[in-house]
Structure 1
Amino acid sequence: MISPARRKAAAFLLLSLASAAGAVAWRPHRRLADSHPRVDLETLFPRQFGDWRVDERVPVQLVSPDTKALLDKIYNQTLARTYVNGRGERIMLSVAYGGDQSDATRAHLPEVCYPAQGFQILSSRKATLELGSRSLRVRRLVSQQGARVEPITYWIMVGERVALSGTDQKLAQLSYSTRGVIPDGMLVRVSSIDSDAAHAFGLQQQFVGDLDKAIAADRRPLVLGRASG
């Protein structure tokens, strides 16, 4: 006859095994990146659109070796370009894409990488850009290093959802994981060297609006999120 203590131990073991099996079955296993055409940042972001074109005279933006090593660990692809318009105004575009934006790979925020390169963050606030196809939630920073003032607009994509905060990212990941999906992720940053932050943010909004029109319609959700309505 089985003693009560052994019966309780056996029941506990069975529950533990069932929980472990359930966790494995619940774990996301389908990659969202496999459900759409392969992402190639070089072609996804046009070299010329609207009044903007890549300024070939400006060298590729460089980051510190530590920052580059972290980006290479988190993301599959990175892109850095400087665009210029007909008035000679310049916008720096930096994009990082990862096919697996799960708990193991978190977006590398400008609030972290800029101070790591000697910048001070003077201000940070959320904003909404009204684009032709959608409203885009972004974060705006003003950074400074010596006499260089660099206003920044950026947003983070988890799958096809904009996620500006760590909590937003967790919620987006959870939403996908309940469907058994591992989302991909993208960080898009535009910035310019300008001591007039209001002017810089206006120019950056114009740039993003022109970019919205230039990106293929079926690829916009990946870069800008799904349009509401």
Structure 2
Amino acid sequence: MNIFVNRYFQAAWVLLGLAWAGLIYHLFLLWSGSPDYSSHYVIPLGSCWLIFFHDRERFKSADGGTSLLGYLPLLLGMASIVPAWYILSQVSESTFVFWWLTLGYSLATLSLALCTWGWARTRILFFPILFIFFSLPLPDAIFFSFRTYLQELVTGLATQGLKLSGCEVVRKGFEIHIPSGPLEIVEACSGIRSMTTIPAMAAFVAYYRRFSFGRGVLLFLFSIPIVIFCNTMRIVVTGILQENFGTVVTTGIYHEMLGYGMALLALFITILISNLLATKRTGTQPVIVIPIPEHSPERILSGISCLLIILSSVAASGYLGWKSYSRIWMQDETVSLANLPLKIGEWQGEAQFVDKEISQVLGADQIIRRVYSNPIGHQVHVWVMYWPASSLVKRGHHPEVCLPNRGFKPVSKSVEHLKIGDRQQIVLIEQLFRRENQDQMLHYWTQDGHHFVTEEEVAQQNQLSTSEWILKQFRTTSQQDQVPRIGILIGMPATGPLETTRKTLTKFTVAFARELYNTCPWAVPDGE
């Protein structure tokens, strides 16, 4: 039996499958950029397994047919992905676009199924197709709403758990200090990244066990406390291991293995709860294969129409994406931040490792992180980030986000103008952070080409939601807007008088800026 009815429907499904492959490829790049997404690879595989194996017999035994109602949503779904692919090539804030593309492809897939096989068989595909949404990063509205709450809750619970285990514990912000060293409750450990993985487990188990809608929702709701419990246990176990065996067992592969262990614990708890919710299964019904209607001129015309809709959308998406990428990369200057010298005057630098998660979040093409030391023991920490076009990025590295998560509080902030030449000057933010008896003084600034981005411009940009910002970029960005962006952050621990620290940091910043503009001449500030 030819399940695709005729070769035109078959070609339409192959083409739509290739379009899905393009989206999965971009998601793969996202997943591979952070270990927090390591479990997301399994979700599309789970969808395929449900379609081709688990639901195969149900699909064959369902009534076959066709429906003219599938044409309009197929057209809408495929039309919606054209601007989405274009925008994906324009911006780095891709979460919104990934949801947009997945929604468009899901609508198109279910609509094509409706045209090919009718309602009965299309209904069987609903859950496997919608299950793919669990592989997407959380939308910003959910992510930022829950991030601080979960970090606060998990940090508090883990602190109490470590105290019960006999550890001496001091909490500072989202850091837990035990005798063997600090434990920082970053996003991964707080459970915010598990807010899709563990609920996905619950949804999959509920569907696999044929739960009713009510029991399925109940199991899904149980996944939230499972997220909190498992991530709290992860911190507590990490602290106990660190106390007994040192930090070597809480980093690298050991840390990843602990994360996988907590995922298995979450799956075990989910299955245990599902057993409590399950009812006794009845015997399986015999499978009666209902053939799909024979070829007819109407079915052939239907297949040709679906194929043309999908082909037009894929061709338009490919053309606009290629034009956009070629325009941006033609604007890209030849830049290698690695060429920045390690020796700047009396300061000797040392390259530092940049975590993949940070690179993925910032979306920068190049990031360098260095520590410069002078002969009397002062140290300066330097971050430099480069994007080939300013329109590609909405958020940059901002100390008012990362340092408070580590327990630091802002003390003072001012705009400074530092002369680096006869007519050039840099405009930067000087800010002091304090945590108990520790002070950190920072210099940071962002440039779009020659232009220094002001705090007011950053505030206006941050007031927009990601979707609003992306649509604004889509409407207003022109070829002239595609100037490179560079972000610089220079920090120094204040181990002595603040004025001495300020003078030392200022002197280094001026020297570093001169070397920076030798490497990136397109960013040299305009003269007065």
Common fold: TM-score over 0.5: yes
Q: Secondary structure at the match of 2:391?
A: coil
The code of the aligned residue for 2:433 comes to S
From 357, 361, 364, the counterpart of 1:69: 357
Q: How far apart in 1 are the matches of 2:393 and 2:491?
A: 28
Q: CA deviation at 1:142?
A: 0.4
Contact residue 90 and residue 192 of structure 1 kept, 8 A = yes
Q: Secondary structure at the match of 1:167?
A: helix
Query: Structure 1 pair 118/218, CA: closer, same or farther in 2 (3 Å)?
Result: closer
- Which structure features the higher share of strand residues? 1
Q: How far apart in 1 are the matches of 2:341 and 2:414?
A: 28
1:226 to 2:502 alignment: no
Aligned partner of 1:34 in structure 2 is 331
Aligned partner of 1:48 in structure 2 is 343
Q: How far apart in 2 are the matches of 1:103 and 1:110?
A: 21
1:186 to 2:186 alignment: no
The code of the aligned residue for 1:192 comes to M
Q: Secondary structure at the match of 1:111?
A: helix
Deviations 1:124-175 (A, max 9, x none): 111111112511100011012232211101111122211132516979x99x
Contact residue 367 and residue 385 of structure 2 kept, 8 A = yes
1:206 to 2:495 alignment: no
Aligned partner of 2:406 in structure 1 is 117
Query: Structure 1 pair 61/103, CA: closer, same or farther in 2 (3 Å)?
Result: closer
- Count matched residues: 192
Q: CA deviation at 1:83?
A: 0.6
Contact residue 61 and residue 80 of structure 1 kept, 8 A = yes
Q: CA deviation at 1:35?
A: 4.4
Contact residue 447 and residue 453 of structure 2 kept, 8 A = yes
Contact residue 80 and residue 92 of structure 1 kept, 8 A = yes
1:154 to 2:454 alignment: no
Q: CA deviation at 1:42?
A: 1.5
The code of the aligned residue for 2:360 comes to D
Q: How far apart in 1 are the matches of 2:372 and 2:436?
A: 24
Q: How far apart in 2 are the matches of 1:121 and 1:142?
A: 6
Q: How far apart in 1 are the matches of 2:347 and 2:520?
A: 20
Q: How far apart in 2 are the matches of 1:169 and 1:76?
A: 24
Q: How far apart in 1 are the matches of 2:360 and 2:420?
A: 31
Deviations 1:51-74 (A, max 9, x none): 111158xxx377xx7xx6354232
Q: Which runs of 5+ in 2 are unaligned?
A: 1-85, 91-323, 462-471
Query: Structure 1 pair 207/220, CA: closer, same or farther in 2 (3 Å)?
Result: farther
From 120, 126, 129, the counterpart of 2:418: 129
Q: Secondary structure at the match of 1:192?
A: strand
TM-score w.r.t. the length of structure 1 is 0.69
Q: CA deviation at 1:82?
A: 0.9
Query: Structure 1 pair 71/113, CA: closer, same or farther in 2 (3 Å)?
Result: farther
TM-score w.r.t. the length of structure 2 is 0.32
Q: Secondary structure at the match of 1:201?
A: helix
Q: How far apart in 2 are the matches of 1:135 and 1:32?
A: 29
Q: How far apart in 2 are the matches of 1:208 and 1:149?
A: 18
Q: How far apart in 1 are the matches of 2:504 and 2:374?
A: 10
From 478, 498, 515, the counterpart of 1:197: 498
From 428, 435, 452, the counterpart of 1:138: 428
Aligned partner of 1:105 in structure 2 is 394
Deviations 1:23-61 (A, max 9, x none): x9xxx8543773421x22211x211121111158xxx37
Aligned partner of 2:9 in structure 1 is none
Aligned partner of 1:91 in structure 2 is 380
Deviations 1:84-123 (A, max 9, x none): 1233322111112222322653222111121123211111
- Which structure features the higher share of helix residues? 2
**Higher relative contact order (Cα pairs below 8 Å, separated by 6+ residues):** 1
The code of the aligned residue for 1:226 comes to P
Structure 1 range deviating more: 128-137 or 149-158 = 128-137
